[in-house]
Structures are given as structure tokens and as C-alpha cells.
Structure 1
Amino acid sequence: MQFSEIPLDPSILKAVAEQRFHTPTLVQQKAIPLVLQKKNVVVTANTGTGKTAAFALPILHLLSTQNSDTKVKKIKSLILTPTRELAIQILENCNSFGKYTAIKATAVFGGVSLEPQKEVLAKGVDILIATPGRLIDLQMQGNIDLSTVEIFVLDEADLMLDMGFIKDIKKIESLCPKKKQTLLFSATMPNKIVELSDIILKNPIKIEIHPEQATVKNIGQLLYYLPKKNKTDLCLHLLRNTINGRIIIFRRTKFGVDKLEQTLLKNGYNAISIHGDKTQAIRNKAIEDFKSKKAHILIATDVAARGIDVSNVDAIINFDIPNVAETYVHRIGRTGRAGKSGIAFSFCSPDENSYIKNIEALLEKPIKVITDHPYPIAKPKHTKKQPNTVSKHKKGRKSTASKKKKKRWY
């Protein structure tokens, strides 16, 4: 299927072609036709699968084909998203895809002055992209009227759950008309998100892109077992000898992000970082510098990284192994996009062994272990029986390791 085969407004298809998007991703192929039919939809898909365009394109089409008699635009679509970076990313997508339409979109989020946002809202918008806290502030001050919303979108619902926004979501949804189209997009579907979808969606059609589908074949995955104290040394070793190009390094904590950034800067690397304690201006500049290649290494926490939309990331480093298996798939999905190759390096210390076990069970395959590095420790032996889908690969691991002359990925 090509975008040209999807019944979108010609002006939108023209903008899509200019962005050099020709073949829709799997989630776009499944979701866009349903949204165009005004169905309620619940989508579970990981980072890098094209979720933003899956709702932005059909929303632009539905709104652009409406006849509006009002001189002042009213909010017809509300897109709720957890972070400022995601709000900016969605706005950029709406503006680029809707450049040849009369649709006006804006984003409101915390960390910046209220007044400019109030001024834009007063002029009227068709699509409002918002973080929950700022939206409620503006609504309580009388600057936002949600009574005209026709399409309500929850983006990255699981992250909003993690950030404690569920009560705000329910309050915001209650301010919208009961009769509306609702779309829920989430990387994972924990029980509380399932319960929320049951409350706010009527007879939704469910779309699930499985991790093995999202973890494309052109992403190499390499695993390094080592002592925790040697992670920084291994990172520097690989940056000097193995890893090149544009790199994202994931750390679990804000302190860890700052500490690694200072170490890389002292060693002559052009590194920048983002996390929740940095101001919006600093975070925006960091992402822009990374996109424009002024900086080649970006260090981030998982929450901050949800707003990064960079198509040419050459490598990912999991400095800290995520304790949630699905997060691993999110991270590596930052590379290998648009049919290009990419590679993910994961550093596992003994206290993280159980995380790797869970990740491999989710992927239904083992991650290639690299022992040829300066700080190796023995690969752990799992004491509990692995799921059948994982254990059946054990022979494959052994045979791969025995072929010493086999060409390495790096």
C-alpha cells in the first residue's frame, strides 16, 4: 500500500509526498482508514512505528473537508499528550502535513508563559495539542472551551499513567461532548489504561502492533555483560573504537544523565542531555542541536526521550537496562527508522540480569552477547526455566558463539 492509495485530501497527500513519505507504516495502514470512518480506535504500538501520523493525517482530512460557517475557529480536535516535547512534535507534524489546508493547530504546555498561548487561543484554532496540567489551567481561566470537540486523542496513554495524569484525563474528557470520536494510542496496555479505555471509548476497534513486528530486522542488538563500575569505561571504549554517527544514550535517572554528560564532555565528545529538571528552553535547544548535528550524542531519560523525533539515529546505547521490557523496544525503535539500518548496544551489570531475561522473553529471541571487550564477566545462567519461545533458541546461541570466525556486527 502507498499513501496515494489512501483516500486523503489531495492537499494533504501533496504535503506527505513533499516529506518523502510514500509507504505507510503498519500502524498507519491499519489505523488511518478506521479513523477516516470515524470509528473509535485503541492502538497499541511502540515508538518508531509512526503513531503520530496515524492520527494526525486522518484528523486533518476530516476537519479540512468540513464546511465551517463560523468566522472564529473553534476547537474541533483535542490531542492530549504527556510531555512538552511530544506536544511540539505533534504540532510540527500537523503543520507540515496540513500546510496546504486552512487547518490551524497550536500546542499548549507548561514551563513557558501563559500569555502567548492565551493570545493564540483567542484567535481560534481547529486542533489543540496540550499537556494535561496546562490545559486545565487555561480552561479554569476561561481561555479554552472544549464543548465543540469532535475528535479526542489520548497519545502515549501509558506514559500519562506513569506521570500521574489519569485523574486529569478523566476531568478533561468530561469537559468534551459525550458524542465524539475517541482515539487512544499507547505503547503498552497496563490494566489501568484498559480500564480507562473501557470508560471513555464506546465499542472501539483495537489495533495491536506486536513488539516483534516493531523491532525490525535491520536493527542489530548487542549485549555486554560487565561490572556496574565499568559501564562508563566501556561506553568510552566503544565510542572511541566502534560506535560512530548520531547516538542516543539512555540512562535511568536524571543524576545519571548529568554525570555521564559531564564525563563525555571532559573526554572531548560533543554531548548534550535532556531530562525533566531542565527548562523547556534548554530541552528544546538540545533537541534542535541533535537534529541539526551540532551535537552527535544525546543522553536522555526515557520520559524525556518520548518527544524525540529524529529519523537518522545511527545507534542506541542502553547504559542502564530498563526494568520494563517494553521500554527496551521503545528505545531501540529510535534507530533503524525509515528502512535504514541501526544498532543497539546494551550494558548489563549483575543487578540487571533479570531485566534482560524479561526482555528476551518479550522479544521471543535472545540478544547477541559480545564477550570480546575489556570488561567481560560471565554470562549469567538463568535459574528458572525460560518460556519455550526463548529456550528453543538456546542451541542457536551456543552455535553462534562457537563460530569465532563469523563476522561481527560491529
Structure 2
Amino acid sequence: MSFSAFNLNSHLSETLTRLDYHTATPIQSLAIPEIMAGHDIIAHAQTGTGKTAAFMLPIIDKLLSRQPISNTVSALILVPTRELAQQVAKASTQYSENCGLNVACLYGGANIGPQEKQLKQGAQIVVATPGRLLDHLIKGTLSLSDLAYLVFDEADRMLDMGFMGEIKRIMRHVPLTRQTLLFSATVDEQVLNNVSQWLNEPKRVGVDAPNTAATKVEQLFYAVDDERKRELIAYTVGKNNWHQVLVFTRTKNYADELAKELNKDGLPTMAIHGDKSQGARNKALEQFRAGELRVLVATDVAARGIDIPSLDYVINAELPYIAEDYVHRIGRTGRAGKAGTAISLVSLDENWLLEEIEVLLDERLTPQWLTGFEPDLTREPKDNRKNTTKSRKQRDKKRILGQRSNRRRKKN
């Protein structure tokens, strides 16, 4: 479907033409008409399919139709991480260029002063992480009394990361009469139940079955011992002469350790995670995008919102504790219809995590053996997890999730 079919504001249409936006993606074709019609929606689509434009374009169109343009906050986009906030704010600024609309980006880990100045100058669109948004609401530097449009972007991850308390507090400042949009790459019914109280007869739209991996991504799994994962990563990147690879780890310590060792292997590498300053994270991302780094090692929290359009390769050095995070990880490649490759390194201790991913995707995933890196099958898995029951795994996962949620909440 052509963007011209949506009858968008002429200034917005000119901007889209300048940005070389001509044909809408499937999620945009489904969501934009429903939003233009004033419906609340629950939308699910794979990462990289144009979700930001799907909600921002109709919101901007609606704001431009309200003349004169208000100088108060009319649209709020809530996101789970700083990186995603920056990404959405950048896109929103591009879409609203020369339209008389201002975008403010609010997130933790940065000086609050410049953000206060942004708000004081007037912003119709605010992109924010929950914690920093609450800071501004408490200080009185921001009011949501005139809010007309509320978007939960990456809603399931935001709530999984422990932001439910903050979101409930934010909702006390939001008018009852508004349009609410919920977007996510995966759909968790429990999460949707939590937010259903804030949606009014929502329409459900989506182009993929909930909780599915991107179809353009080739998924490869290699069985390998933990102590040989770094060696296998260096071998794979070097042998194939890959120059832009995103590697995921579960922990900050392992991210730092892996980056240090890969540098010793001659692969320019940096790590990003919640303990890194925002400046350091931005610098690493800029160098990665510019091709100055061959490898970027990231934890799940830090990687949310990373948008590298031409990224072809993702490697899971460790499988995630939360199966849905696997979908988000590999969604960093294969974006906008392009092909991509996701390699997961699976140790004996991670077989139970692989089973969780299989259940989520409803797909059998069988690790291969790579010559020279065959796993030692004489080992016993740690904590005897190989023989644990499903209920034991679920208890472990909930315990780990609770610990990670507390840490993530503090970092954002």
C-alpha cells in the first residue's frame, strides 16, 4: 500500500517523500488506518518492520490537524530503555520536520537539566523511559493533563523489566479520555491482561503469529562447551570475514570479559551494558555503525533499541533466561525484509533454556557439532539441570527474572 493512500497531511507527505518512504510495510498498512480512525490498538510485528512509523505517522497527522498547534504535551511514547528512547525520538523528529512540532527525549543516566530546558521550550511529543518520566512528573517540569495519545512501545519487555509500578503511577497523571496504542514484537497474554485496564475496546492487528522469530533470519545452533565459546566466536567471525557482528550475553561481567578477549584475538570489540555511562554506550554504538568496531557485545537491556539497518549477523554467546528475549535478539538482524543470520552457542548447561525457546516458537531446534569444537559429553551439567522438571525450570526462571527486573529498574 502506498503512503499516499492514507491521505496524510501535505507537510508530512512531503517529508516522507524526502525520506524515500513510498510503500508502507504490512504492519503500517494494518495499523495506520485503525489509528487514524481513532481506535485503541494492540499491534504485534517483528522488530524492524516499521513499528515506529506505524504509530508516529498517524499521531503526527492528528496533531497537525489540531490548529493552532498546542504547546503542551499531546503524545507520550513510553519505552523500556534509553537506546530505544533515542531511536524513537530521532525517527519522530525526522517525521515531524518542518511541521512545527517539537520532540523531547527523556531517559535516565543523563543530566536532567537539558531535558527540563527542552520541556520548558515546549514539546508536543515526548518519548520517555518510565523512571525518568516520573522524575519530571514529581518535579513538576512536565504535565500530561492535555495528553491525547499514549503509546506503549515494546510493551511486554517494559513490563517484564519491572516497570509495572512506575507505569501505574504514571497513569494517574494521564487523562481518561485519550487514544492508547500498544506495540510489541512479542505478545504475552499475561502482560496484555495487566494493561487491558488502560485500553478501550482495542483492535488487534499484526502480520506475524505472536512470539515468532523473524522469517528472514537463518537460525543456527552449535553445541559447544562454555570455555570454548569465545574461541568459536573469534573463529567464526574471522573465517567468514564478518565486519559487523552483534554478540549477546546474559551478564555485564561476561560482556566485558568477552570484549576484552576478542580484542586480544585481533577483533576490534566494545561492550555495552547497564553499568556503562550513556556517553560510553553512544560512543560504542557510533563506532559500530561506522564500521570502526567489528564486534559489539551487549546485554539484553543495553541492546533494546539498537537499530543497525544493515546488520547481517547476530551471535548468542549465551542463551537468554527469558525465551522471548531470544526473539528480540535475533530480530536485530533480518530487518525490513532483509536476510540475516543468527547463531546461538549452546552449552550443556543451557539445554533447558533451549527447550524454553522451542516451546515459545513451537519448533524443534537441534544444535549442530562444529568440527574442532565438539562438546565434552562426559561432563555433568551444573546443578543437574539436565534432569530438572518443567516446574523446576519455571521456578528458576521466575527467580532469575525477579532478580534481573530489580537490577534493570535501577539502571533505567
Provide the rounded CA distance (Å) in 2 between the counterparts of 1:211 and 1:272. Answer: 35
Q: Match for residue 157 of structure 2? A: 159
> After the TM superposition, which of the residue ranges 238-247 and 167-176 deviates more from structure 2?
238-247
Compute the displacement of 1:216 (Å).
4.1
Compute the displacement of 1:279 (Å).
0.7
Q: Match for residue 307 of structure 1? A: 305
Compute the displacement of 1:368 (Å).
6.4
Deviations 1:141-181 (A, max 9, x none): 11111100000111122222222211111111121111000
Q: Match for residue 266 of structure 2? A: 268
Matches within 5 A, 1:158-197: 158-197=156-195
Q: 2:353 aligns with which of 347, 355, 361?
A: 355
> Residue 163 and residue 359 in structure 1: after superposition, are their counterparts in 2 closer, same or farther (change >3 A)?
closer
Provide the rounded CA distance (Å) in 1 between the counterparts of 2:359 and 2:163. Answer: 30
Deviations 1:160-205 (A, max 9, x none): 2222211111111121111000111233343542233221111111
Provide the rounded CA distance (Å) in 1 between the counterparts of 2:75 and 2:12. Answer: 17
Provide the rounded CA distance (Å) in 2 between the counterparts of 1:325 and 1:18. Answer: 39
Provide the rounded CA distance (Å) in 1 between the counterparts of 2:10 and 2:286. Answer: 31
Matches within 5 A, 1:385-404: none
Provide the rounded CA distance (Å) in 2 between the counterparts of 1:260 and 1:313. Answer: 20
Provide the rounded CA distance (Å) in 2 between the counterparts of 1:259 and 1:211. Answer: 37
Provide the rounded CA distance (Å) in 2 between the counterparts of 1:165 and 1:135. Answer: 12
Q: Is the 8 A contact 1:41 1:206 kept in 2?
A: yes
DSSP-derived class of the 1:347 partner: strand
Q: Is the 8 A contact 2:9 2:61 kept in 1?
A: yes
Q: Match for residue 79 of structure 1? A: 77
Q: 1:333 aligns with which of 331, 334, 342?
A: 331
Compute the displacement of 1:10 (Å).
2.9
Residue 15 of structure 2 is aligned to residue 15 of structure 1: yes
Matches within 5 A, 1:215-226: 215-226=213-224
Q: Is the 8 A contact 1:360 1:367 kept in 2?
A: yes
Q: Match for residue 126 of structure 1? A: 124
Q: 2:225 aligns with which of 215, 224, 227?
A: 227
Compute the displacement of 1:383 (Å).
9.4
Compute the displacement of 1:317 (Å).
0.3
Matches within 5 A, 1:11-50: 11-50=11-50
Q: 1:294 aligns with which of 292, 296, 311?
A: 292
Instruction: Give the number of equivalent residue pairs.
Output: 381
Residue 62 of structure 2 is aligned to residue 62 of structure 1: yes
Q: Is the 8 A contact 2:81 2:129 kept in 1?
A: yes
Compute the displacement of 1:350 (Å).
1.0
Residue identity in the other structure for 2:42: V
> Residue 164 and residue 148 in structure 1: after superposition, are their counterparts in 2 closer, same or farther (change >3 A)?
same
Which stretches of structure 1, 4 residues or longer, exceed 6 Å deviation after superposition? none
Q: TM-score, normalised by structure 1?
A: 0.86
Q: Is the 8 A contact 2:48 2:335 kept in 1?
A: yes
Residue identity in the other structure for 2:95: F
Q: TM-score, normalised by structure 2?
A: 0.86
**CA RMSD, Structure 1 to Structure 2 (Å):** 2.4
State the identity %.
Answer: 38
Residue identity in the other structure for 2:102: K
Residue identity in the other structure for 2:135: D
Structure 1, gaps ≥5 residues long: 385-410
Residue identity in the other structure for 2:49: T
Provide the rounded CA distance (Å) in 2 between the counterparts of 1:69 and 1:78. Answer: 16
Provide the rounded CA distance (Å) in 1 between the counterparts of 2:207 and 2:347. Answer: 30
DSSP-derived class of the 2:110 partner: coil
Structure 2, gaps ≥5 residues long: 389-412
Compute the displacement of 1:11 (Å).
2.4
Q: Is the 8 A contact 2:47 2:335 kept in 1?
A: no
DSSP-derived class of the 1:177 partner: coil
Provide the rounded CA distance (Å) in 2 between the counterparts of 1:165 and 1:85. Answer: 16
